[in-house]
Structure 1
Amino acid sequence: MSGYDPLGVSNVIRFPGADGDPIPAPLTVLAGGAEQRNNLIYAVGAAPSDTNGHIIAAETNNTDGIVSATYNARGGSGDESGVAFRIVDHRNFYDLVILSGGSLQMIAVIDGGFDHGGTFQILATHTIPSYSNTQDYEIGVRMEGDNLTIILDGADITTVTNDTFNTATMHGLKFGGTNTGFDNLFLPFAA
């Protein structure tokens, strides 16, 4: 999905800045910190104490569309990092993350998640065949009303129905730690 552009407009955000440069507009940090390094985006610093990871996002004015990114664990555990979508705030959002060992999970994080006084709901799980923590993966989700479809390397994996955050229009990335790097962040900006 790298470079995927169904609206015919540039919806892909790259990270070509110098090492240590801040994240580019229109992205903003909702929780934690992030910087550009080696042409990727990484989380920096300690994770916030009141939510489930570092969150960066942009207001897109769209509830529907595709959110995707090129993910690489850079030899680490995967850090429970991935795309975040339909973000209400840094404590209420969906994420699609890769866990250690290559399990891809779609989760509704509510009030900061289980470890932070709230709850979470696992909506879907998929094991990535022959997962390698040094390989690039294109992970994403297609949002169509209450239907949320997991996309892996351009292929639809499974669709779930959930309406918890179906009016939220911020989308971006979620980092569970500082090892994972991302590139080619595709967001559904209004045309």
Structure 2
Amino acid sequence: MERAIFAGGCFWCMVQPFDEHPGIYSVVSGYTGGHVPNPTYEQVCSHTTGHTEAVEILFDPTIISYQELVTIYWQQTDPTDAFGQFQDRGDNYRPVIFYLNDEQKKVAEKSKQELAESGRYSQPIVTTIEPAQPFYPAEMYHQDYYKKHPENFARNHALRADYLKETWGND
């Protein structure tokens, strides 16, 4: 098994797209990139810990590649918005690909360049690619939120879903 860590706004909205693919063993909501060990949701929301909401994915690379995960990632975010995602604003919602090794960094950077050159976006791609830092799982009530609270999830996900459909269509 290998790990991947992606931040793309509210972690509730980042679980489902990965959770539905063969070869994904787990998708955990959590926090990374900050300076406070084991932060709470309230601390992260205070914008004082430096953490970003993210998902940690445990996957089998013989079934799904890291490149495929990065492709899924791009199709879940607005990579032109550095200050949050959709209705979620602030540094704790910024889009980041956190790499765990040189190969992941290389794949992410190449993919970002290809996306920038694709002409799909008229604005620059501002998603950052950064070395992974300690990942802290979020509280249990955040895990699998889309399964536990489908009505809340649908409401929170509506702006994202509309944007993604407009940007990616059926890709």
The reply to whether TM is greater than 0.5 is no
Structure 1 or 2: larger strand share? 1
Structure 1 or 2: larger helix share? 2
